[in-house]
Each structure stands twice: as structure tokens, then as C-alpha cells.
Amino acid sequence: MTLTLRYMRMEDVPQVITIDRLSFDPPWSARSYAYEVTESSYSHMVVLEQSREDKPARGLRRLVKNLNPQPPGENVIVAYGGLWHIADEAHISTIATHPDSRGRGYGEIVLAGMVRRALLLKASYIVLEVRVSNVAAQSLYAKYEFHTVDVKPRYYHNNGEDAYDMRLDLTDPERQARIHQRFAELQSKSPFVDLYSAAPPPRGQN
């Protein structure tokens, strides 16, 4: 099994909206993802993809595989995220892991990738909003040194819940070094191929 962190593509959108619908109320539409992936000049959408079959099947595995051929597209999106970059601000617009794959470090890989991407895009800071009840996400953000700077009252329309406004300053050289170091440590702890954090954007994004 190989994990690959890479820019989101149009063909990923059906899997991404499945995860989105299982994770958010209200979810984003397929059209919103299509816009982010194909048109927005500020958007750096990311997926973490798991490829199920690395080596050609041999022996008994090959026989079983031939008896039960899998449909094309064996790669599965396990987590995804959205980063906007405008001038010196970066904004984490979304992040989710498929409910069946939570607690395995995938959300952390996506977040670490977006933080490193923002740094390499020369953003000065990253902001995001999170529900006050969303302890799991807050804990993930705190691990990456985000801190709460404000509360946005009744920010979420579906239930009137408040949001914490969280922020990570990227200008401190020591923090910048920690971000790169943490990313390298994560990559050696849970190996993944990184085609995102330092890659040239696929279109003319800022």
C-alpha cells in the first residue's frame, strides 16, 4: 500500500464529495470542488490517496485477483483538504478524513502538507474556523501550533454554533524550521509520497 499526497484533480471529486457528505453539514457541492480544482487562482486543493495494489499479484493472489477482478481506479482517496492563498494570507478552507480511516494519521498528513505548502508559497500566516464542539480538529490544529484568536458567534448556519478563529503565524524562523522538521519526521514515521507540498501548482495559481 502506498500513500500519495498530491493536488486534487477533477476525477477525484466524486470520492471527495462522498467524504465531504459524511463529514460536514452542510457539505460543499460538486460544483464548488470543480471550481476550486479547475478555475480558482487561489486554491491549492489536496488529496491523500491510497493505492491498494503496488506489486503485480503472483501465485495464489494472482489467481484470486483474476477470479475477482477489481474495477479500474483501485486508488482510494482517504483524506483531503483545501488551502487558499491570497497575498500573504493562507486559509484552510476544509479538511476531512473518510470516517472509516480516521485515527490513522491521515488528517495530520494532509494538514502538515497544507502548512508546508503555505510556507513555501510565502504566506505570512494561516487562518481557519472550527466549530467550538469539534475537539478532534482543534487538537489536530493545536498540534501544529495554531491558537485561538477570536470567537465568531453563530458562525455555522445549520445550528447556530460559534466558531473559533484559529491562526498560525509563519514568520518566525524557528517555527518555520519546526514545520519542515515535523513534516520530515511525519514522512519517515508514516511513509508517503509527497507530490504536493513543494510541487509547482498544476495551473497558474498564486
Ligand X SMILES: CC(C)(COP(=O)(O)OP(=O)(O)OC[C@H]1O[C@@H](n2cnc3c(N)ncnc32)[C@H](O)[C@@H]1OP(=O)(O)O)[C@@H](O)C(=O)NCCC(=O)NCCS
Task: Name the amino acid, one letter, at 6.
Answer: R
Least CB distance from residue 140 to ligand X, whole Å? 3
Selection from 172, 5, 159 nearest residue 81 by Cα: 5
Stated as kind and residue range, the H or E segment containing 167 is: strand 163-169
Instruction: Judge residue 127's burial from the number of C-beta atoms within 10 Å of its C-beta, 0-12 exposed, 13-18 middle, 19 or more buried.
Output: middle
Distance, in Å, from the CA atom of 30 to the CA atom of 1, rounded to the nearest integer, reads: 28
163 binds ligand X (CB under 6 A): no
- Mapped onto helix, strand or coil, the DSSP state of residue 36 is helix
Residues 63-102 that bind ligand X (CB under 6 A): 79, 95-97, 102
Selection from 90, 111, 115 nearest residue 205 by Cα: 90
Interface with ligand X by CB under 6 A: which range of 4-12, 104-112, 178-186, 195-203? 104-112
Stated as kind and residue range, the H or E segment containing 65 is: helix 59-67
Binding-site member from 84, 106, 192, 196 for ligand X (CB under 6 A): 106
Give the nearer residue to ligand X in terms of CB position, either 26 or 63.
26
DSSP secondary structure letters along 85-111: EETTEEEEEEEEE-GGGTTSSHHHHHH
Residues 40-69 that bind ligand X (CB under 6 A): none
139 binds ligand X (CB under 6 A): yes
187 binds ligand X (CB under 6 A): no
Binding-site member from 46, 90, 140, 186 for ligand X (CB under 6 A): 140
Give the nearer residue to ligand X in terms of CB position, either 22 or 34.
22
Give the nearer residue to ligand X in terms of CB position, either 7 or 192.
192
Binding track over 1-30 against ligand X, x by CB under 6 A: ----------------------x-------
Cβ of 6: how many Cβ atoms within 10 Å? 18
- Mapped onto helix, strand or coil, the DSSP state of residue 149 is strand
Binding-site member from 5, 49, 105, 192 for ligand X (CB under 6 A): 105
Q: Under the rule (CB under 6 A), what is the footprint of ligand X? A: 23, 79, 95-97, 102-108, 130, 134-137, 139-140, 143
